[in-house]
């Protein structure tokens, strides 16, 4: 099992530079975990792509529907965000020694609390994960 951050999920469903690597990673695993945060950020990314005219409304709806079907069909293990994740993220951010962003801290805290590696295409997130001792797979 590994935890896929939003950059991996978006690259899996939308054609991007890292899409082939994201597809190989996701389809090559028996159990991919994502969080409710990734679910929310995924839809935000689709909305951004529509605003930037990288996707049509119709394509965004089709991609969103496919993602929702995968969520309902147990394609992913959907992890809940717990109070302890916020505490871990706050502790890391308040150390003032990383460039960790709020939502990235939550993604890391979820993976850390489950003792599973995180997969990302975000170099900044990967650097923070490394600094905090969270196993990371940067694609």
pLDDT in tens, 55-103: 999 999 999 999 999 999 989 999 999 999 999 999 999 999 888 999 9
pTM of the model: 0.94
For residue 138, the model assigns a pLDDT of 97
- What does the pLDDT read at residue 87? 98
- How far the first Cα of the chain sits from its last, in Å, is 16
Each residue's pLDDT tens digit, 24-37: 999 999 999 999 99
Q: What's residue 117's pLDDT?
A: 98
Q: Name 33's bridge partners.
A: 3, 77
- The domain spanning residue 34 has which CATH number? 3.40.50.1010
Number of structural domains the chain divides into? 1
Q: Which H helix or E strand runs over 8?
A: helix 6-13
| pLDDT the model gives residue 98 | 86
Q: Which of 79, 42, 49 is nearest to 64 (CA)?
A: 42
- Domain coverage including residue 52: 2-138
Q: Is the dihedral of CA 87, 91, 96, 101 positive or negative?
A: negative
């Amino acid at each position: 099992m590994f935890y896929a951050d939003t950059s991996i999920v978006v690259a899996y469903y939308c054609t991007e530079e890292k899409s082939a690597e994201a597809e190989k990673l996701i389809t090559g695993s028996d159990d991919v975990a994502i969080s409710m945060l990734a679910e929310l950020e995924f839809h935000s990314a689709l909305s951004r792509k529509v605003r930037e005219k990288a996707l049509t409304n119709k394509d965004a709806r089709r991609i969103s529907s496919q993602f929702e079907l995968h969520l309902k069909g147990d394609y992913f293990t959907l992890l809940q965000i717990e109070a302890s994740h916020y505490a871990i993220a706050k502790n890391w951010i308040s150390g003032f020694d990383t460039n960790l962003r709020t939502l990235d801290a939550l993604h890391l805290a979820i993976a850390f609390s489950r003792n599973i590696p995180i997969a990302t295409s975000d170099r900044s997130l990967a650097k923070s994960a490394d600094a905090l001792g969270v196993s990371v797979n940067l694609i």
